[in-house]
Structure 1
Amino acid sequence: MTGPLEGPDAPDAPDALNALDLAGRAVTVAGLGVSGISAARALARLGAAVTVVDGGDGDTQRARADALAADGITARLGDGDTLPPGTELVVTSPGWRPDSPLFAAAAAAGAPVWGDVELAWRLRGTPGASGAPWLAVTGTNGKTTTVRMLAAILDAAGLRTAAVGNIGTPIVEVVLSGQPYDVLAVELSSYQLHWAPSLRAHSAAVLNLAPDHLDWHGSMAAYAADKGRIYTGNEVACVYNTADPATEELVREADVVEGCRAVGFTLGPPGPSELGVVEDLLVDRAFVAKRQQQAQELAQIADIAPGGGPAAPPAPHTIANALAAAALARAFGVPATAVRDGLRAFTPDAHRIARVAEIGGVTYIDDSKATNPHAAQASLAAYDPVVWIAGGLAKGATFDELVAHAAGRLRGVVLIGAERHLIREALQRHAPGIPVVDVDRTDDAAMTVAVRAAAGLARPGDTVLLAPACASMDMFAHYGRRGEAFAEAVRAGLPA
């Protein structure tokens, strides 16, 4: 038996355990999802004795457990609360709540708890692992788009990179892949940041802050604090949103490397140490020699992937995402031409401001990925007039601010999902004159009914927008399937 894990777990000494030999250690992995399976296999390859625990015991979990058994990994199903005897380290999947009994048992046993991101960060110093610097992105909304834009810009600069973290390939796999990456574009959720106290990014951005996942974090203050962890130890730039003072406050509170700068992004003309917009140009006044007097053109707004089809301009929040991505790339020394070329090459994700069709002069937009009020508000702000399809699982969110902001743009509203009454009540308070159709069904035909109702409310020149402001799991397997159902229903109404 090896001795206890050595080295501090506190964030003020992040590198002490990077090259830790895990061979022979008893490690428990919490969760049989994608990140849990990735962590378990990586730990097993490093010689750890791995047990995966999961509260589920269905066909999916059993199939995954059988696959892990071939790698010598034990899985314990149906009990995610009990700590296996002898556990020296717990590696958790992002979604496991901090108050889970498993973690209380780990604390009692003196076993540290790491997230998959923490594991990846600490393994960067092991032989064969990628020690490439990280450019990190978090925020309530826009993370995936920004990280994909950032990766496209880095690629256009000729750098070997990958979009990782809360997106694409699990970050542990990338770090241990043996590939000679120059830099990684890393999306981080508040869950992942909570369990990653040792993370030290080259540069990082918090795009925005709005209430989300408060059932997990316990309060808005705790949620913001976990988001703010991304700035700790930044070396070159802490990128923030000038339109969201909470993000700037996180920068002010951050403990960074001496010389690290605060860099803002804005949809208006930028001041010194900011990136922004002048007429139809994205410009940089942060990473230029004489930022008090000069600016560098980076790209045209037209270079950004459009938000509603080839003739439509990008939505304001898409422009903001592009500026944040550009700021991180410029912090890494990327030339202006690569920003332009990367934004031109970028392809938006499915179900994020995706134009489905135009029928009878009405445009149909799929933004199923708008799973909280903040995301839906940004989406609604891009269109006018709008017939809005909304509803689902609220996750503890409220909708008064969203409805109050959007009321002047709404032609009508179609409500779906288990907690649609919360949006209906907000509409009654803040937009009582807006026509509302309530779809009181959750079967496979519900989205078809909703789209037909929306088409009946819309007029030529309007946009029918699926931006639910809610999670999808009450009716669909995930937000992607919800968006697919919307697109299928729209296309069913196209002329033969």
Structure 2
Amino acid sequence: MGSQEVSTVDWQGKHVTVAGLGVSGIPAARALHERGALVTVVNDGDDERSRAQAAELEALGVTVRLGDGATLPPSTELVVTAPGWQPDKPLFLAAAEAGVPVWGDVELAWRLRGDDGREPAPWLAVTGTNGKTTTVRMLASILEAAGLRTAAVGNIGVSLLDAVLGETEYDVLAVELSSYQLHWAPSLRAHSAAVLNLAPDHLDWHGSMEAYAADKGRVYEGNTVACVYNAADPATEDLVREADVEEGCRAIGFTLGTPGPSQLGVVDGLLVDRAFVADRQKQAQELAEVADVNPPAPHNVANALAAAALARAFGVEPAAVRDGLRAFRPDAHRIEHVADIGEVAYVDDSKATNTHATEASLAAYDSIVWIAGGLAKGATFDELVTGAAKRLRGVVLMGADRALIHEALTRHAPDVPVVDLDRTDTGAMSEAVVRAAELARPGDTVLLAPACASMDMFTNYNKRGEAFADAVRARADETA
């Protein structure tokens, strides 16, 4: 199926099981019911919130089974699942045994686009272990600067179903896709797509690094114009080689160095394009300055290059790349500068919840007092510490699995002073900032980049970042 072809399904009377209530399950159940499908929603939970959601759907005529997400309802012809449900759940094993296909919310959105007779908007898709949300939002900003009707959708929080079925007619969609979503999206065919990077993540869900990479690589299947890869991460280029794409689709690399033909890169503080120019061997098109990227940390410049590559693949002019990057404002808790106190910068990168994201964050600064720790999720820290050791002025550790980081520091950075806070209460962050300030010298950066999840101490990484910012501001007031 080419990227602009529309899949038509006769939903009338089709028995569809929707797995999971929530941000994807409820819109899926509604959309399918409106099209005449006989919908049964199954859900593991049976709490107050689930019962309220079930009551709304049952009022429409949808059947809901709470507390039983394991059993495949009789007569099921299709299962539509929330992306987070693991592939080895009994429901899916039963579906496979019965020959019943399983789709995710992305697959359903792909199949439903254009079924109202409107021309479906092409998708520019982004996946990778880290940087997806930032890249997609940069891409949407660039597309808007080009005068295109667009939206940042998908795993970013805006439902693809809502975007595809809503009243707004888009020219193009900037789509963030997780490995979970791609696993359940067999017929997705993007206009162009990018895999930003690959590092071990969610291996408990996928079962292996190979399976995780293969699901990420699905984003390239059937691309029509460009498969964008990271020249610094050969695994992403390998996925391009393995993909079955439309004839004429090109492999486009991005690099923080000087670009070769069919690449975007950096020359003398400029983002330049040697891919979408008339003579790739001899020509380079200036797109923007590195200073136009906010913030201009190396990994964020890489995000900007990937976004620019997808925009250029869609025909966007260079000036719109520049204007879109200048207009972009990063989300909170992503290398967010909080304050300067006594010539020391305080930076919140609470979103760095794994080692790969933290590695990029640490690489952005020359001399760092690092605040880290939390739930390790099975991660190891030797490689991270080895790479960052020469940049570390000191380290403040907190959280449930801080000992794992401390052990790696002892092995690979024994001369770096470490403050080990033996506490996991939310007030630990205030002490962490005070102790980090004691270690810091003028010109240093105190960097919250935990390399761990937050749930041992905080509701989510946002709350952790807010606690850090509050503690920094309180210190600024004390020292003013």
The interval holding the TM-score normalised by the smaller chain is over 0.9
| 2:96 counterpart of 1:114 | no
Aligned twin of 2:250: 261
* Aligned 8 A contact 2:2 2:189 in 1: no
Which of the residues 33, 40, 43 maps onto 1:54?
43
Aligned twin of 2:450: 468
* Deviation string, structure 1 residues 425-455 (Cα, Å, up to 9, x no partner): 2112111222222222222312222222222
* Aligned 8 A contact 2:3 2:223 in 1: no
SS at match of 2:51: helix
Give the letter for the 1:248 counterpart: E
Question: How far apart are 1:53 and its partner, in Å?
Answer: 2.0
Question: How far apart are 1:73 and its partner, in Å?
Answer: 2.9
Question: How far apart are 1:129 and its partner, in Å?
Answer: 5.6
Q: Closer, same or farther in 2 for the Cα pair 1:463/1:260, shift >3 Å?
A: same
Aligned twin of 2:363: 381
Specify every segment of 5 or more residues in structure 1 that has no aligned partner in the other structure, as ranges.
1-11, 308-313
* Aligned 8 A contact 2:135 2:303 in 1: yes
* Deviation string, structure 1 residues 391-431 (Cα, Å, up to 9, x no partner): 22222222111111011111111222222222122112111
| 2:84 counterpart of 1:95 | yes
Question: How far apart are 1:130 and its partner, in Å?
Answer: 5.7
* Aligned 8 A contact 2:6 2:113 in 1: no
**Cα distance in 2 for residues equivalent to 1:72 and 1:413:** 57
Aligned twin of 2:187: 198
**Cα distance in 2 for residues equivalent to 1:391 and 1:130:** 48
**Cα distance in 1 for residues equivalent to 2:374 and 2:469:** 17
Which of the residues 459, 464, 480 maps onto 1:482?
464
Which of the residues 419, 443, 448 maps onto 2:425?
443
* Deviation string, structure 1 residues 341-362 (Cα, Å, up to 9, x no partner): 1111111011101111122222
* Aligned 8 A contact 1:129 1:178 in 2: no
Q: Closer, same or farther in 2 for the Cα pair 1:429/1:155, shift >3 Å?
A: same
* Deviation string, structure 1 residues 363-398 (Cα, Å, up to 9, x no partner): 111111111100000000001211111122222222
SS at match of 2:110: helix
Using the size of structure 1 for normalisation, the TM-score is: 0.93
* Deviation string, structure 1 residues 143-165 (Cα, Å, up to 9, x no partner): 11110010011111111111011
| 2:11 counterpart of 1:22 | yes
**Cα distance in 2 for residues equivalent to 1:13 and 1:257:** 8
| 2:383 counterpart of 1:401 | yes
Aligned twin of 1:222: 211
Give the letter for the 2:233 counterpart: D
Question: How far apart are 1:180 and its partner, in Å?
Answer: 1.5
SS at match of 2:337: strand
Which of the residues 270, 290, 293 maps onto 1:281?
270
Which of the residues 301, 304, 316 maps onto 1:334?
316
Q: How does 1:408-447 map to 2 (within 5 A)?
A: 408-447=390-429
SS at match of 1:264: strand
SS at match of 2:246: coil
Aligned twin of 1:7: none
Q: Closer, same or farther in 2 for the Cα pair 1:250/1:55, shift >3 Å?
A: same
| Stretch deviating more after TM superposition (205-214 or 357-366) | 357-366
Q: Closer, same or farther in 2 for the Cα pair 1:303/1:462, shift >3 Å?
A: same
Using the size of structure 2 for normalisation, the TM-score is: 0.96
Question: How far apart are 1:69 and its partner, in Å?
Answer: 3.2
* Aligned 8 A contact 1:135 1:185 in 2: yes
* Aligned 8 A contact 1:87 1:111 in 2: yes
Give the letter for the 1:366 counterpart: D
**Cα distance in 2 for residues equivalent to 1:115 and 1:14:** 18
* Deviation string, structure 1 residues 194-233 (Cα, Å, up to 9, x no partner): 1111010101111111111111111111111111111111
Which of the residues 27, 36, 40 maps onto 2:25?
36
Question: How far apart are 1:47 and its partner, in Å?
Answer: 2.3
SS at match of 1:493: helix
SS at match of 2:388: helix
| 2:441 counterpart of 1:459 | yes
**Cα distance in 1 for residues equivalent to 2:5 and 2:290:** 45
**Cα distance in 2 for residues equivalent to 1:194 and 1:129:** 27
* Deviation string, structure 1 residues 180-205 (Cα, Å, up to 9, x no partner): 21111001111111111101010111
Aligned twin of 1:150: 139
**Cα distance in 2 for residues equivalent to 1:213 and 1:226:** 12
**Cα distance in 1 for residues equivalent to 2:102 and 2:37:** 15
Give the letter for the 1:462 counterpart: D
Question: How far apart are 1:302 and its partner, in Å?
Answer: 1.4
Give the letter for the 2:462 counterpart: G
Aligned twin of 2:167: 178
* Aligned 8 A contact 1:130 1:176 in 2: no
**Cα distance in 1 for residues equivalent to 2:325 and 2:147:** 14
SS at match of 1:114: strand
Aligned twin of 2:130: 141
Give the letter for the 2:341 counterpart: I
* Aligned 8 A contact 2:344 2:440 in 1: yes
Aligned twin of 1:79: 68
Q: Closer, same or farther in 2 for the Cα pair 1:458/1:67, shift >3 Å?
A: farther
Aligned twin of 1:5: none
**Cα distance in 2 for residues equivalent to 1:111 and 1:322:** 41
Which of the residues 366, 390, 393 maps onto 2:372?
390
Aligned twin of 1:8: none
SS at match of 1:111: coil
Aligned twin of 2:292: 303
Aligned twin of 2:350: 368
* Aligned 8 A contact 1:19 1:124 in 2: no
Give the letter for the 2:348 counterpart: D
* Deviation string, structure 1 residues 36-59 (Cα, Å, up to 9, x no partner): 222222222222222222222233
Q: Closer, same or farther in 2 for the Cα pair 1:416/1:32, shift >3 Å?
A: farther
**Cα distance in 1 for residues equivalent to 2:62 and 2:341:** 54
**Cα distance in 1 for residues equivalent to 2:150 and 2:3:** 23
| Stretch deviating more after TM superposition (465-474 or 231-240) | 465-474
Give the letter for the 1:457 counterpart: L
* Aligned 8 A contact 1:284 1:296 in 2: yes
**Cα distance in 2 for residues equivalent to 1:201 and 1:127:** 20
Question: How far apart are 1:14 and its partner, in Å?
Answer: 9.0
Specify every segment of 5 or more residues in structure 2 that has no aligned partner in the other structure, as ranges.
none
**Cα distance in 2 for residues equivalent to 1:15 and 1:296:** 29
* Aligned 8 A contact 2:352 2:452 in 1: yes
Give the letter for the 1:437 counterpart: V
Q: Closer, same or farther in 2 for the Cα pair 1:452/1:181, shift >3 Å?
A: same
